[in-house]
Chains A and B, each alone.
Chain A
């Protein structure tokens, strides 16, 4: 499916969403749309309004203003009908610890009003597909974090909804489980499921999403494909490496727009004509008796995009998330 087709077939359409709690503006005119089979990532820091947006789309809270339509159903005026169109996987794996994986799935199948036969095959197939067959009759209390997340996602798919909301689906997962979940999500979208996910991780947005909406302070400050977003920010950089800190400092002094990185023993210089710039930089360093040990050309990262658009850094790795989660729990 091409990007153009996706735009014509808007499965999720959000316009002018606004939500305030007292004087605190949580969402201030949020607009976006997601096409069928597309993965759209809302990328932003804590408190940007990601979860509030998901909660409004999934009928949990009402906005002060704006419209939401999912699969052509107006969510605000026909919430019960809209609930057949989507499933929500929240921030915390909300599965019952006292039930087994199979029981959790069967319960959700009943609540989704599947017939007896459809329920049995669906439960069995999902356990199989999510690599939970061996753990099917174990209580969830004995599941690992990755298994809980997989069960959580399987539960969301019980009625094969056309739209899936994933609120920070990989927070707290180890890298291997995270990669596994990414490929599952990508496959769902390839099969036609429309996916709206929120994330604080640039890597996740870049790897998974067809389009990204950068959200900050309750507004979408930029949106587009990861490549389009990067193109908005700046061009390429040349990265020159050196053997010593002294060399780095002397080389950086040669260009007013150079950034030195003493940890990496490198100097970054923005460039528009890479070959000419490399040649002149090598000549200048040679004149000053400084030896360049390596050269690389680096495109802008989504990190740069984020920093430029929001004025603060996004989270880049999972190391930081652990302490954050503990703080949340405390």
Chain B
């Protein structure tokens, strides 16, 4: 013990501002990347399950629903959106764990940019989900998916995907702050199930009337149709604005909600 200076008074920067806030978020992002890469569960959730989902839709359902190959082009954008939602939901579990373990308490007593731990979760989720898209798209291409989008369409699709991940991840972060770890881990069922009740896998006019009303008006239908238009090189119509309105709305409400709950939530 005598070898070390345990007396108080280590020199450190007392300046705080935009620079330290960015550094704080970068540190927290690195922490989340480590968490993802070091857990078997988190690796499977992030990278293996999305590929499996794509395989199921294209190989199993694709063969049964339509044999000429057009179904592949129809279903891949919806499956991609489903995977991004599912991948974003992992944030809920990680945030809930941070609250339960008292880690959030500790971070809140540090002189850091307040909700930097939440920003770290979100930035890591964007990176994780964009990386997860690569094997998912590769599998789709191998199985005959032929997107007609040109450069502009791809840029639009990526930007659209980032906005979607942001909205879904902030929503998941809010869930993680409010729920127990167990309850938070069931959030991904919502993201797995809700896309089925949209035009992502079958056109809504094949559904029973009572379901069609819901399917036509829930956020996944305009989001998936916009993604399909962007990837097929078609100019998205009115659905783009409906989709953007949904995503920006979800993003704003979740972001504001999560920062308020974060500031108030204390593990006793």
Interface set of A (CB-CB < 8 Å, partner B): 51-52, 55, 58-61, 80-81, 83-84, 86-88, 90-92, 94, 96, 98-99, 103, 107-108, 110-115, 118, 122, 125-126, 128-129, 139, 155, 157, 159-162, 184, 187-188, 191-193
CA A184 – CA B6 in complex, angstroms?
Answer: 10
Stretch at the interface among B9-17, B77-85, B218-226: B9-17
Within 8 Å of chain A (Cβ to Cβ): is B196? Answer: no
Q: Find out whether the CB atom of B109 lies under 8 angstroms from the CB atom of A60.
A: yes
CA A60 – CA B5 in complex, angstroms?
Answer: 29
Q: Find out whether the CB atom of A122 lies under 8 angstroms from the CB atom of B10.
A: yes
Q: Find out whether the CB atom of A91 lies under 8 angstroms from the CB atom of B102.
A: yes
B34 surroundings in chain A (CB, below 8 A): 98-99, 103
Stretch at the interface among B23-31, B62-70, B159-167, B242-250: B23-31
Q: Find the residue from A84, A87, A160, A162 having the highest chain B CB count within 10 A.
A: A160
A60-B4 CB under 8 A given contacts A111-B110, A139-B38: no
B5 surroundings in chain A (CB, below 8 A): 125, 160
Q: Summarize B's interface: helix, strand, loop or mixed.
A: loop
Interface set of B (CB-CB < 8 Å, partner A): 1, 3-14, 16, 20, 23-24, 27, 30-31, 34-35, 38-39, 101-103, 105-112, 266-268
Which of B4, B31, B102, B268 is the one whose CB lies under 8 Å from A128? B4
A92-B102 CB under 8 A given contacts A60-B266, A139-B38, A159-B12: yes
CA A313 – CA B38 in complex, angstroms?
Answer: 46
A192-B38 CB under 8 A given contacts A96-B103, A110-B23: no
CA A125 – CA B107 in complex, angstroms?
Answer: 22
Tell me how far the C-beta of B98 lies from the nearest C-beta in chain A, rounded to whole angstroms.
Answer: 9
Q: Find the residue from A61, A87, A113 having the highest chain B CB count within 10 A.
A: A113
CA A111 – CA B31 in complex, angstroms?
Answer: 12
Tell me how far the C-beta of A192 lies from the nearest C-beta in chain B, rounded to whole angstroms.
Answer: 5
Chain A residue nearest to B7 (CB atoms) is A191
B9 surroundings in chain A (CB, below 8 A): 160, 162
A188 surroundings in chain B (CB, below 8 A): 6
Which of A59, A115, A193 is the one whose CB lies under 8 Å from B109? A59
Q: Find out whether the CB atom of A83 lies under 8 angstroms from the CB atom of B109.
A: yes
Q: Find out whether the CB atom of B1 lies under 8 angstroms from the CB atom of A118.
A: no
Chain B residue nearest to A194 (CB atoms) is B8
Tell me how far the C-beta of A91 lies from the nearest C-beta in chain B, rounded to whole angstroms.
Answer: 7
Q: Find out whether the CB atom of A92 lies under 8 angstroms from the CB atom of B101.
A: yes
Which of A96, A103, A160 is the one whose CB lies under 8 Å from B10? A160
Q: Find out whether the CB atom of A112 lies under 8 angstroms from the CB atom of B12.
A: yes
Q: Find out whether the CB atom of A193 lies under 8 angstroms from the CB atom of B6.
A: yes
Q: Find out whether the CB atom of A129 lies under 8 angstroms from the CB atom of B10.
A: no
A193-B266 CB under 8 A given contacts A83-B109, A111-B110: no
Q: Find out whether the CB atom of A98 lies under 8 angstroms from the CB atom of B39.
A: yes
CA A157 – CA B7 in complex, angstroms?
Answer: 10
Q: Find the residue from B9, B10, B34 having the highest chain A CB count within 10 A.
A: B10
Q: Find out whether the CB atom of A111 lies under 8 angstroms from the CB atom of B10.
A: no
Tell me how far the C-beta of B180 lies from the nearest C-beta in chain A, rounded to whole angstroms.
Answer: 13
B4 surroundings in chain A (CB, below 8 A): 125-126, 128-129
CA A56 – CA B244 in complex, angstroms?
Answer: 42
Q: Find out whether the CB atom of A86 lies under 8 angstroms from the CB atom of B110.
A: no
Q: Find out whether the CB atom of A107 lies under 8 angstroms from the CB atom of B31.
A: yes
